[in-house]
Amino acid sequence: MALARAREQDLLSTEIVNRGIEAGSLNFSVRVRRRLPDFLNSVNLKYVKLGYAYLLSHSFYFLSAPILILIFSVALGKVTWEDFCPKCDPIDALFLLGVLALIIYIYLDLTPTSTFLVDFACFRPPDHLKISKEEFIQLARKSGKFDQTAIEFQQRALKNSGIGDETYMPRSVFQPGFKTNLKDGREEAAMVIFGAVDDLLATTKVRTKDIRILVVNCGILNTTPSLSAMVINHYKLRHNINSFNLGGMGCAAGIVAIDLARDLLNAYPGSYALVVSTEVVSYTWYSGIDQDMLLPNFFFRMGAAAMLLSSRRLDRWRSKYELKQLVRTHKGMDNRSFKSIHLKEDKEGRQGLSVSKEVIEVAGHALKANITTLGPLVLPVSEQVQFFTNLLFKKKTKPYIPDYKLAFEHVCIYAASKKGLDELQKNLELTDEYMDASRKTLQRFGNTSSSSIWYELAYLEANGKIKRGDRIWQIAFGSGFKCNSVVWKALKTVGKPKRSPWI
């Protein structure tokens, strides 16, 4: 084991040196650490095994179906009209019908209910909260909170961020005497959350008393009562609702919330689940000068998304998507990953979210583990055969890079920054068309944290790109460090929605 680790470290060091030399930089070691690792050329076997383990566990239902169908067919083959005729023995006919009903009941009980995404909604803040990059710098300078070095740092970062001039921010954070407080945080949370949920309820026509499960996620703002309790109070949800509030889980918490809602829907079949994902910008604002804590200031923007999930079989006809796969990867056992994004206080006691310079490299390693597990679940058989064969004989052949474009028609990558999207596009070998939704969302709405991937899906819908049978891959990263993936299948061709943040 120690020898294997040593070899792995040697390979990593060689890779870093070679990349640095190719880049032509004398200080290559520092620059390379901020880039994604070439994760498609190095595969960890344990994640491949994990992916196939998931595949085999789900295959039980696919293997049992033909057997039950065979039994059912044999039973039906022996049935004649006389079996149901009153002149014949009614006891035998009733017994046969009872056996068939029992088989159907057992099969339906053993087979997990599909999780449907009935619809979703993304909140678009009012126009008076729009802020351009130039205005951001002007207001930041007038606030008196930042020195010239901090202003210039934010100006350079904004220029290369990929963020446009029509994103939304609470202007109160730029006031000279502003301090992070619960009042502003609650008001912002209420505006974005209620705005998204109102649009969702108006579109789906679902009664609030029919919602049995509620999951709300917000990374930084965690109040008492919780944000989920705030939603229950506002919409007067049922008294026995299963309510959960997820905090401190970062931008990947939206997929965690979907996973939790799916498990609860399996536990309570025939139910509706409301999932709300957001981040409160005014509560993440940092008024100091530490550069690692200034990054969230100009990346995070206001936004929220609300999703209605269902486990009702009859909801298939009116739902937009069906959940096909969900894979979560957590790298918290590694100290560097654990500390890459964390909430802390600077020397002056001012609270802020610190983002390490190594976060892109850390994200790359997490993504490598995630897609290696996801691959066996989604890749075509031809790709899996080539990949698995190459894995067995990797000492003799060049590493085979699976083509994930064959598994999905659309990809929604968490829109954190232009640099991050560039690195992901390069390593996943995605075309500009696959990256369009992520880049347009970053430009128009900025980094809206866990709701970002839903603004991207809304962009695809608004442009008429979702066709029946299309597979959509959503990828999100978060503190901890986490990388989560969820795959949806379109149940119908989605027309231009009446309510959309893009319309």
Side-chain half-sphere of 259: how many Cα atoms within 13 Å? 14
Stated length of the chain: 503
- 8 Å CB contact between 292 and 354: yes
3-state secondary structure of 324: strand
Do residues 429 and 403 make contact, with C-beta atoms less than 8 angstroms apart?
yes
- For residue 30, give both structure tokens: 């520092």
What distance in Å separates the CA atoms of residue 96 and residue 175, rounded to the nearest whole number?
77
Closest by Cα among 328, 435, 400 to 40 = 400
Rg (CA), the chain: 26
Catalytic (active-site) positions? 251, 330, 410, 447
- Is 180 in contact with 351 (CB distance < 8 Å)? yes
Is it true that the peptide bond before 481 is cis, omega within 30 degrees of 0?
yes
E strand or H helix at 20: helix 2-23
213: its two tokens:
């499960």
Is the separation of the CB atoms in 151 and 141 below 8 Å? yes
**Which of 415, 336, 410, 14 lies closest to 424 in space, CA to CA?**
415
Distances (CA, A) of 383 to 139, 353, 387, 399: 52, 41, 6, 13
Q: What is the 3-state secondary structure (H, E, C) of 256-314?
A: HHHHHHHHHHHHCCCCEEEEEEECCHHHHCCCCCCHHHHHHHHHECCCEEEEEEECCHH
Using an 8 Å Cβ cutoff, are 495 and 433 in contact? Answer: no
Residue with tokens 């934010």: 154
Q: In terms of C-beta density within 10 A (0-12 exposed, 13-18 middle, 19 or more buried), how is residue 6 classed?
A: exposed
* CB-count burial class (<10 Å; 0-12, 13-18, 19+) for 81: exposed
Quote the CA–CA distance of 106 and 67 in Å, as a whole number: 13
Cα–chain center distance at 278:
12
Report helix, strand or coil for 48. Answer: helix
Token output for 154: 């934010």
Both tokens of residue 96? Answer: 């046969």
